[in-house]
Amino acid sequence: MAEIKVKNLHKEFGVGDDRVVALENVNLDIEGHVFVSIVGPSGCGKSTLLNILSGIETASSGTVDITQDSHDANPGYVFQAARLLPWRSVMENLMFVQKERDDEARARCQRYLDMVQLGDKGDKFPGELSGGMQQRVGIARAFSIEPDVLFMDEPFSHLDAITARSLRRELHEMWKQTKKTVLFVTHDVGEAVELSNRILVFAKGGKLEDDITVDLPFPRDPSDDAVAVAKAQVLRKFEELDLLAT
């Protein structure tokens, strides 16, 4: 079972007047098949946390320990923009991140493209697809390496409401089927309540302020009373922490 342990994680940028603390002594313990959302206002270090966990950035101090079932596995990452190579076809984009680029990997990539309903678009270039389709390719790419841990950084924030909603459903189905540990950054509290088992609330200055467990059955419909109440509770927490004003 996958496990993410973060101890006293600290990250700051710049010096003097330009010094910015992005994360302040964050401690975290995430274990097993859970969907964890990270919410908070802009500039609270949500994306920085994912970037450090995925190795894109290094921490100023503190430790990160990610244990996965398969030791050589790499976590998957879905970015805010799809970040596809524009000069490679959809299938080549998926193959690009595979450790072994063999027939088995190709079949696996095809399976995940089918799962995001783009099975027939493997030969297309990203520029030929709509924004929603590109993001689905990004999701298929992250799943195609079959990681135990998946990072997602506001993956639906660039999309229109309808596309975002259908992708949320697809994502939930895939998460249910593939049993991954997901760390999902969002600024949309409704989205966090709809998808997550746990919601981590970050405040400006990179402080982890609260760790909320959402104990509601899946699938969750945003129009359900229970989901609406849960959303209101999280928002009230935001108010208590004075996060809405920022």
Partner 1 sequence: MRRAHARRTATTIREVSDIVVTTDERPEGRQRSAEEERLLAQRRRDTRNKWLWRIAGYVVVLLIWEYGFQAIMELIAGRSLNDALLPGPIRILQTIPDIWEDGEMLSNFGATLTRIGIGFGVSFIAGALIGLFTQNKWLDSFFRDLVVVSLTSPGLVWALTGLIIWGFKPLGWIFAIFMTTFALVSVNISEGVRALPKDLLDMAKAFGVSSIDRQRHIVIPHLAPYIFTAVRFGFSIAWKVTVLTEVFSSNKGIGFQMRVTSQVFQLDEFFTWVLSFFVFALFLEKVVLQRAEDRYFRWRQEVAT
* Binding piece for partner 1, criterion CB under 8 A, among 59-67, 78-86, 179-187, 191-199: 78-86
112 binds partner 1 (CB under 8 A): no
* Binding piece for partner 1, criterion CB under 8 A, among 32-40, 51-59, 62-70, 232-240: 51-59
Least distance in angstroms from the C-beta of 246 to partner 1? 27
77 binds partner 1 (CB under 8 A): yes
- Token pair, residue 209, equals 């302020």
1 binds partner 1 (CB under 8 A): no
* Binding piece for partner 1, criterion CB under 8 A, among 73-81, 186-194, 204-212, 217-225: 73-81
Site for partner 1 in 133-162 (CB under 8 A): 141, 145, 151
54 binds partner 1 (CB under 8 A): yes
User: Checking DSSP bridges between strand 61-67 and strand 149-153, what pairing results, if any?
Assistant: unpaired
* Residue number, 6 or 227, with CB nearest to partner 1: 6
**Number of amino acids touching partner 1 (CB under 8 A):** 25
184 binds partner 1 (CB under 8 A): no
* Residue number, 144 or 197, with CB nearest to partner 1: 144
The per-residue DSSP string of the chain comes to --EEEEEEEEEEE-SGGG-EEEEEEEEEEEESS-EEEEE-STTSSHHHHHHHHTTSS--SEEEEEEE-SSTT---EEE-SS----TTS-HHHHHHHT-SS-SHHHHHHHHHHHHHTT-TT-TTS-GGGS-HHHHHHHHHHHHHHT--SEEEEESTTTTS-HHHHHHHHHHHHHHHHHHT-EEEEE-S-HHHHHHH-SEEEEEETTTEEEEEEE---PSS--TTSHHHHHHHHHHHHHHHHTT-S--
Diameter over CA atoms, the chain: 54
- Residues in CB range of 114: below 8 A, 6 or more apart: none
Sole binder of partner 1 in the list 9, 46, 47, 75 (CB under 8 A): 75
* Residue number, 165 or 237, with CB nearest to partner 1: 165
Least distance in angstroms from the C-beta of 24 to partner 1? 23
Sole binder of partner 1 in the list 21, 34, 110, 125 (CB under 8 A): 125
Interacting residue ranges for partner 1, rule: CB under 8 A: 51, 54-56, 74-77, 79, 81, 83, 85-88, 96-97, 99, 124-125, 127-128, 141, 145, 151
